Amino acid sequence: MGARHTLLELFDAALQGVDGRAGVRRQLIGFGDGPNVVFAIGKAASAMALGALDGLGTSLEQMLVITKDGHADPALARLPGVTILQSGHPVPDERSLSAGAELESRLRNLRSSLFPIFLISGGSSSLVEALQDGHTLEQLRELNERGLAAGWNIARLNAERSRLSRLKGGGVARLLGGRDALALFISDVPHDDPAIIGSGLLGPGAGEDRITRRVVANVDMATRFVRDAALARGLDVRTRFARFAGEAADVAADFVAELRGCEADGLVWGGESTVKLSDPHGRGGRNSHLALAAARLLRAGDNLTVLACGTDGTDGPTDDAGAIVDSGTVERAELGGCDVERAWREFDSGAALEAAGDLVHTGPTGTNVGDLLIGIKHSAQSLRGLGPSRVL
């Protein structure tokens, strides 16, 4: 078995470990007698909603699921009492406002006997919105596009979004008016802060707040699952406590240098990098740009292979999860007809990595805890005996 197969197996172990369905089910098995109403919002909303169905059973009366295009599980649509809305991401659109109006209306008219349960994952900021008076969708879209192009980190971007919103920054808590509720989060932000996840959609609100908040999955869990899966295969893959952050090219340089110099068989880091896009720019996102940056640093003879992927299965506006690169990536891309240096300058990393045959595709994963960087050395003796990968 080769290094690429090993990396896909380790990435798959992380995805299974932080799966939204399993995390929610564990929290909700035996949770009261109901009746309950569930609001699932985010890129992992469908998986989390299925976990609520598993855990709550007949005590679940109603469910509203708001998710990204292509991320809705068909099994949910066939169930009574379930409403599914697909919305805009990573930039909000008219459907985001419609979804916000639906959420706001349901919260204002929530029957007193229903216990509200919120399932929140990354992507909520764009998928659902109700704007403060005096603000427009065009302003919101411009803010999102400006922040993404400038490489704002998630905390800054979400703080700016919440200023325009009636729902974000504790708005849902205010609409609940002090009634009891439960919020379960899949976190893709530093410190798992509910005031930042989804721009604070279920963050603390002013006045009485009786929402119980719990994180069911985060990137630290994902890195531990990678480490443990590697250990089970005889590999010493080491992680670190600090999340990676900053410019993708800088993160790539740090990771390659540490991987090249470490005594272990490999490394796994979790976090989220940023990119500052040129105008115009091509296909790609922060993971493909980071992966191409790493590939440009790898020298002939380097026995290193690096995976850079988003745990949600998407990379920016693309359907790629990211890529796996090695010292032959640049040459393969050039042989495939791509000018790699042009692609690098114009943020067209996806085109270069497609030409090299190095892109990774997973489809919707049912989770969203941020990004993973996994690197291994070909000299590791335990790259053998692995079963077939589920990630293609």
Mean pLDDT is lowest, of 54-58, 83-87, 163-167, 230-234, for 163-167
**DSSP code for 272:** -
β-pairing verdict for 36-41 and 60-68: parallel
DSSP string, 75-124: HHHTSTTEEEEEE--SS--HHHHHHHHHHHHHHHT--TTPEEEEEE-TTH
What is the Cα Rg of the chain in Å? 21
Query: Which H or E run includes 214?
Result: strand 211-217
Q: What is the pLDDT of residue 1?
A: 56
Q: What is the pLDDT of residue 334?
A: 97
Chain-centroid distance of CA 142 in Å reads 22
Q: Indicate the average pLDDT of the chain.
A: 91
126: left (phi over 0), alpha (psi -120 to 50) or beta: alpha
User: Up-side HSE of residue 175: CA atoms within 13 Å toward CB?
Assistant: 23
Contact in structure between 323 and 308 (CB atoms under 8 Å): yes
- Between 215 and 162, the higher pLDDT residue: 215
CA distances to 22, 51, 80, 150 from 216, in Å:
9, 11, 26, 31
**Mean pLDDT (whole number) for 301-328:** 95
Per-residue pLDDT tens over the stretch 31-78: 978 899 999 999 999 999 999 999 999 999 999 999 999 899 998 988
Q: How many CB atoms lie within 10 A of CB 337?
A: 8
SS3 173: helix
- Between 331 and 283, the higher pLDDT residue: 331
Q: Say yes or no to pLDDT of 157 above 80.
A: no
CA distances to 40, 254, 299 from 389, in Å:
29, 28, 28
**DSSP code for 244:** B
Percent of the chain with pLDDT over 70: 96
Q: Would you tell me which CATH number, out of the four given (1.20.1530.20, 3.50.50.60, 3.40.50.10180, 2.60.370.10), belongs to the domain 19-217?
A: 3.40.50.10180
CA distances to 177, 223, 248, 297, 360 from 292, in Å:
49, 22, 10, 9, 13
Structure-token pair, residue 304: 């290193």
Superfamily of domain 3-15+220-377: MOFRL domain (3.40.1480.10)
Query: Which H or E run includes 277?
Result: none
Every domain of the chain with CATH number 3.40.1480.10 lies at 3-15+220-377
From the list 132, 129, 133, the residue with the least C-alpha distance to 144 is 129
Mean pLDDT is lowest, of 130-144, 154-168, 285-299, for 154-168
Q: Say yes or no to pLDDT of 266 above 90.
A: yes
Every domain of the chain with CATH number 3.40.50.10180 lies at 19-217
Q: What is the pLDDT of residue 115?
A: 97
CA distances to 58, 150, 306 from 80, in Å:
11, 44, 45
Model-level pTM?
A: 0.90
Q: What is the pLDDT of residue 51?
A: 97
Q: Say yes or no to pLDDT of 308 above 70.
A: yes
Q: Say yes or no to pLDDT of 384 above 50.
A: no
SS3 155: helix
Q: Say yes or no to pLDDT of 187 above 90.
A: yes
Q: Say yes or no to pLDDT of 260 above 80.
A: yes
Per-residue pLDDT tens over the stretch 111-131: 999 999 999 998 898 899 999
Contact in structure between 369 and 311 (CB atoms under 8 Å): yes
Sheet holding 322-326, edge to edge: 237-238, 266-271, 371-377, 304-310, 322-326, 359-360
Q: How confident is the model at residue 161 (pLDDT cuts 50, 70, 90)?
A: confident
SS3 322: strand
Percent of the chain with pLDDT over 90: 74
CA distances to 108, 192, 203, 209, 210 from 206, in Å:
17, 20, 10, 7, 11
Q: Say yes or no to pLDDT of 388 above 70.
A: no
